[in-house]
Amino acid sequence: MQRAAYVLAMGVFAMVTSEFVVAGLMPQMARGLDVGIPEIGYLITAYAVAMAVGGPILTLAVRRLRHKTALTTLFGVFLAGNVLAALASDYGVMMAARIVTGVAAQAFFGVAVSLCVQLVRPEIRGRAIAVVMNGLMLGTLLGLPLATLVGEHLGWRAAFWVITGMTVLVAPATVVGVPGTARAEGGGGIREEAVAFRRPRLWLAFSTSTLIIGATFAAFSYLNPVLTEVTGFATGTVPLLLIAYGAATVVGNTVVGRLADRHPVGVQVVGLTLNALFLAGFALLAHLAVPAVAMMLGIGLVGVTMNPAMATRVQHAGNAGPLVNSVHSSFITLGVIVGSSFGGLVIDSHGLRAPLWLGAGLAVLGLFTLLPDLFRGARPEAGPRSATDAAPRAAAPTPEACAVRS
């Protein structure tokens, strides 16, 4: 199953690169589409909203298909969106392209996670999801700089063509690399899978994930201006610092993956506590280069890297079906929207350090959402429940091959 794990991670990498590419090419795209920078910013918002709202809908549409067919369909939709973006003649067409790619990416995450759960033994699922989520971390570390570099030298359309080419290579590798027996839904009907949404514990787990990601993105969205205008780094130094931040996320994701199966709640308690401290420390010491960089790297280690533990807890509270996983991804996307949008609002009134304080506050709030599980003192179940299980037992999603990486 090693092959299945890595090809799914490659798919995540391609889709995350597409998600971030607009952020790295805003001036070029504004000139090319003859609009202002704020309008290009709306493309990022539209992508996130499309993921949050449209992703679960598309997941439902493909849930009855076998894995190979479902993944091929989602790659096809994603590919069409990127081709449309590369050929976009005006802003309206580009907006439509970003909505299409956002919906496809979110549905892909849900189906991939469900597939992973079926491929691995219960005791290694947390480590497995860490391998798949490394596609997300590497998308931040390598995909965004690569797309930005291509766009700066060959034009912004070339960046979308590169992502298109990447998709053309990854899609057939995925079809060959994953087993073709089970359906995307992982067994069970829509009613069996949807019953999980009646459980308060599941919604509490969703809210924790939103706050974890919101806290992190309140800072991440504004690292560039904080590092240049408050800390005093040269503009050319910031990309190197962001690469270091990306490397920290890869390390943190790997460590969390090893702990998530047995201690999903405990890992999140530690992660949120440390993240609150790092964010507050960054806010206090942002004017000092060495402490500022240390705090930034700390945020990288314990921020988005909570993904394996978040997924494990969600599946314990609900089930391992693609719908639950896709809705969970929507709540994660909501965290991105909350952190970045409210971060911008507090900058207007309180300055560039304000998003860091906001992030610390969101992290503390996230700790309160973990209290019911801590007081319950329940041990995590051995493995994620399928959509047909009666009791909520679920473990983190990811391909078995991931176990090889652990």
So where are the chain's domains?
A: 2-405
Rg (CA), the chain: 20
- Phi first, then psi, for residue 184 (nearest 5°) are -60, -30
- Phi first, then psi, for residue 265 (nearest 5°) are -75, -45
CB 386 within 8 A of CB 319: yes
Give the closest residue to 355 by CA, choosing from 215, 208, 198, 164.
215
pTM over the 0.85 mark: no
CB 131 within 8 A of CB 405: yes
CB 283 within 8 A of CB 175: no
Looking at this protein, which amino acid is placed at residue 154? L
- pLDDT in tens for each of the 406 residues of the chain? 456 767 788 888 888 888 878 877 777 888 899 988 778 877 877 888 888 888 888 888 887 787 788 888 999 999 999 999 999 999 999 999 999 999 999 888 878 777 776 776 666 666 667 767 667 777 767 776 777 778 878 889 999 999 999 999 988 888 787 776 555 544 456 676 778 888 999 999 999 999 999 999 889 878 888 998 899 998 778 778 888 888 898 899 889 888 887 889 999 999 999 999 999 999 999 999 999 999 999 999 999 889 889 988 988 887 767 778 778 888 988 898 888 888 888 888 898 899 999 999 999 999 999 999 888 764 444 445 544 443 333 333 333 333 333 3
CATH C-level class of 2-405: mainly alpha
Encode the chain in three state secondary structure: CHHHHHHHHHHHHHHHHHHHHHHHCHHHHHHHHCCCHHHHHHHHHHHHHHHHHHHHHHHHHHCCCEHHHHHHHHHHHHHHHHHHHHHCCCHHHHHHHHHHHHHHHHHHHHHHHHHHHHHCCHHHHHHHHHHHHHHHHHHHHHHHHHHHHHHHHHCHHHHHHHHHHHHHHHHHHHHHHCCCCCECCCCCCHHHHHHHHHCHHHHHHHHHHHHHHHHHHHHHCCHHHHHHHHHCCCHHHHHHHHHHHHHHHHHHHHHHHHHCCCCHHHHHHHHHHHHHHHHHHHHHHCCCHHHHHHHHHHHHHHCHHHHHHHHHHHHHHCCCCHHHHHHHHHHHHHHHHHHHHHHHHHHHHHCCCHHHHHHHHHHHHHHHHHHHHHHHCCCCCCCCCCCCCCCCCCCCCCCCCHHHHC
